[in-house]
Structures are given as C-alpha cells and as structure tokens.
Amino acid sequence: MELYDVMRTTFAARQFTDDKVSDETLRQILDNARFAPSGGNRQGWRVVLVREQDKRKQLIPLLEPVIRRYRAQVAAGENPYNSVVPTRVSEAEIAKTELPAGYSDPYLKAPVLLLIFVDLSVVASMDSDLHRVGVVSGASIYPFAWNILLAARNEGLGGTLTTFAAVQEPAMKELFDVPDRYALTAVLPIGKPVKQLTKLRRNPVSHFTTIDSFDGEPFG
C-alpha cells in the first residue's frame, strides 16, 4: 500500500476472523516497526507476544473494573480518567454500570496480543518536574506502537492500541514477570479484521492548527 493510503485507512480493529497470524508475519511487522524514532535512539521498547489463552483469561478480571469506570464516566458526559477535570461519578454508579457485549473479544479472540513496555531507565521524561501528568515519555514508545499498527495494515491485518491494562500495571507486571523499571504503555490485539474500513472520520486541519499563536488564525 502507498504510505498515505496506510495512514488514512489504519483504523481501530476490534473484531477479527479466525485466520492465524504467523510468526513470520509478526516478525516482518516488528522488523519494520523497530525503525520508529525514540529519544536518543535508545529504543527502550520491549514487546511481549501473548498467544496463550490461559494468560489472556487472567487479563479479563483486571480489565473489567477499568472498563466499567470508563463507561460510567462516558455515560455521565465525562472524559474518562481525565487528569484535569475530576470525576463526579460515584463508586456505586460505577458498580452498577453494565459491561458491553463482546468487551473481552479483542483480548480473547484476536490471534495474538502484543504487550508494549518501555524501559523508564532510558527515557528522557522532559516534563517530569511539571505539575501535571507526564506525557513526554510517550514520544519514545508510541511511535513504535503506531508503526506496528501501520505495518499490520500493510500486511492486510489490523489491531487497536488499548491502554485499559495500564491502570492495572502492578498486576500486569506480576502476571508477565516484568522488571520494575518497565512501564506498560499499550496492549495491541492483532489479527485479520472481520471488515476492512477504508474511510475514517477526522477533524480538518483548520480545526487543530493555528498560525503564530494558540488562538491565531486557523491554518488550512
């Protein structure tokens, strides 16, 4: 596929066929994804490839309370897990929120899960002293994660970048024997999508780009 076609059609795939994803194809995907940029070219990523169904089943009880809170906040008109605006949703409201049908399918039915970790001992967290949640460390890992999804799309596969499991990082690290210095950044279910989307909806350039200042004239 042409580069711009891949960029414009790589969607969040959550439903997959029963087609297997070979080790050769995964190696091809990761071999290309590894050329993503990272701070100082330190390449602090680590991937755990999970096919074993027993371990996947152990993920679901960890994810359920996270997804339940996420849905409760969305239902209340909030931006879930937001670090700026505190939630007003009570624990009782969260507890009675129903989980959607098929919520566990991407984790149980995808041919493979890729757990993406980053080594915090090599990441330049330039915003670590600011009085807000840190985001800059992501510059050294999410380009790699996105490259995986772009490469998967190029191979006729798909996936989605999920972060629910990050809320349960201590339990995830115990389950997968992860050293302390690593942070869980994403879980990527990968497989052949039931349906390939070719047209995505996104805001136009003028919606998010301005000239010379934050409140300047829209660009584009």
Mean pLDDT in residue range 76-105 = 97
Q: Cα separation of 81 and 70, whole Å?
A: 7
Please classify residue 120 by burial: count the beta carbons closer than 10 Å to its beta carbon, then call 0-12 exposed, 13-18 middle and 19+ buried. middle
* Residue range 163-181: mean pLDDT, rounded: 98
Region 124-135: mean pLDDT is: 96
Average pLDDT over residues 176-193: 98
Instruction: State the chain's mean pLDDT as an integer.
Output: 97
Answer yes or no: is pLDDT of 198 > 90: no
**pTM of structure:** 0.95
User: What pLDDT, on the 0 to 100 scale, is given for residue 220?
Assistant: 85
- d(C-alpha 12, C-alpha 196), whole Å: 10
What is the band of 93 on the pLDDT scale with cuts at 50, 70, 90? very high
Which pLDDT belongs to residue 182? 98
Categorize the per-residue pLDDT at 178 as very low, low, confident or very high, splitting at 50, 70 and 90: very high
Q: Give 12's DSSP letter.
A: B
Identify the pLDDT of residue 185.
98
Confidence of residue 161 (pLDDT cuts 50, 70, 90): very high
Q: How far is CA 73 from CA 82, 161, 186, in A?
A: 10, 20, 21
The string of pLDDT tens digits covering residues 3-40 is 999 999 999 999 999 999 999 999 999 999 999 999 99
For residue 193, the SS3 value is strand
What is the three-class DSSP state of 146?
helix
**What contacts 24+ positions apart, CB below 8 Å, involve 209-218?**
none
Mean pLDDT of the 67-73 span: 98
